[in-house]
Amino acid sequence: MASNLKVFSAGAVQLGLSRVAEAFRLDGAGSVEIEFTTAPAIAKRIADGHSSDVIVAPRELIETLTNTSPLSNRPVLLGRIGVGVMVRAGAPIPGIADIAEFKQSLQIAEQIVYNQASTGIYLDKLFQRLGVATEMEVKTTRYPDFAAVRHHVANGRGNEIGFGATTVIAESAGKGITFAGPLPAEIQNYTSYAAVLTSNTGDGASAFMDYLATPSAKSILRSAGIE
C-alpha cells in the first residue's frame, strides 16, 4: 500500500496527473499527495533538500536532476504538452492561424503575459527567431507561474495576450479567460513530461510508477490533453 506517497510535479500536467492519482487510490493502491509548482521551483526544492517519492517534470529537468541527484535512471514518459494562447473572457480572439497572423497579433497587442518556466523560456527564443524580441520586451510582463499569468489576463482591460501550456489554459475555462488556441504548427513547441523515482522510494512509489505506465493511466492523461 502507498500511504501518503509524496510527489513534486510541474503544474502543466495537474489535471491529468490528479485524475491518475485518484484512479490509483480507487484501485486500492493507496493515496498520493501531489505538490504542483513550476519546473524551476521543483529544481530549487530538490537543491534545498526537500524530499519526495516521485518527481514529475519536463524531461530536460529530469535529465539534469539525474546527473546531480540520487534519482532512478529509468523515468516513465507521461506525454507532451504544447503552448497555447489565451485572452480575457469576452475579448476579441487574436489571429493565430499561421505565423504571419501570429506576428501581427503580437505587434498590435498592448501587453504580452507569460511565465518564467518552460513556456516563457521557449517564447523568449521564439520572439528572437521571429524578429520581434525588441518590440515584445517593452510590453511583456512575466510571472513565476501560470496562476499569476491567468489572473493578470483575466483582470486586464486592454488588448492583452497571455500564454501557457495548452492543458492549463483549457482547464481554466470559466475563470475569466478564453483559450484562443495553440501556437501555429510551424512554431509550436512541445514539452515532454516524465516521472522518476527518488532515493526515498519504497514499494508504494514503485507501484505508482508502474501504474503511470499502464494503458489505463495513459488514457486518462490523453483525455486531459497530454499527448
Which pTM value belongs to this model? 0.83
Reported as a single tens digit per residue, the pLDDT across 79-91 is: 999 999 999 999 9
User: Do the beta carbons of residue 146 and residue 191 sit within 8 Å?
Assistant: no
Q: What's 95's DSSP letter?
A: P
d(CA 14, CA 201): 22
d(CA 142, CA 152): 10
Question: Which CATH fold would you assign to the domain 2-79+192-223?
Answer: D-Maltodextrin-Binding Protein; domain 2 (3.40.190)
pLDDT tens-digit profile, the chain (227 residues)? 445 789 999 999 999 999 999 999 998 778 899 999 988 899 898 888 888 889 999 998 888 888 777 777 688 999 999 999 999 999 999 999 999 999 999 999 999 999 998 899 999 999 999 999 999 999 999 999 999 999 999 999 889 999 999 999 988 988 999 999 999 999 999 999 999 988 766 678 888 999 999 999 999 999 998 98
Sign for the CA dihedral angle at 169, 172, 117, 45 comes to negative
The CATH number of the structural domain formed by 83-187 is 3.40.190.10
Question: CA dihedral defined by 85, 86, 87, 88, rounded to 10 degrees?
Answer: -170
Reported as a single tens digit per residue, the pLDDT across 32-48 is: 999 999 888 998 988 88
Sign for the CA dihedral angle at 98, 129, 120, 78 comes to positive
Residue ranges of domains in the chain: 2-79+192-223, 83-187
* CATH fold match for the domains 2-79+192-223 and 83-187: yes
- Give me the phi and psi of 27, to 5 degrees please: -75, 0
| pLDDT reported for residue 4 | 79
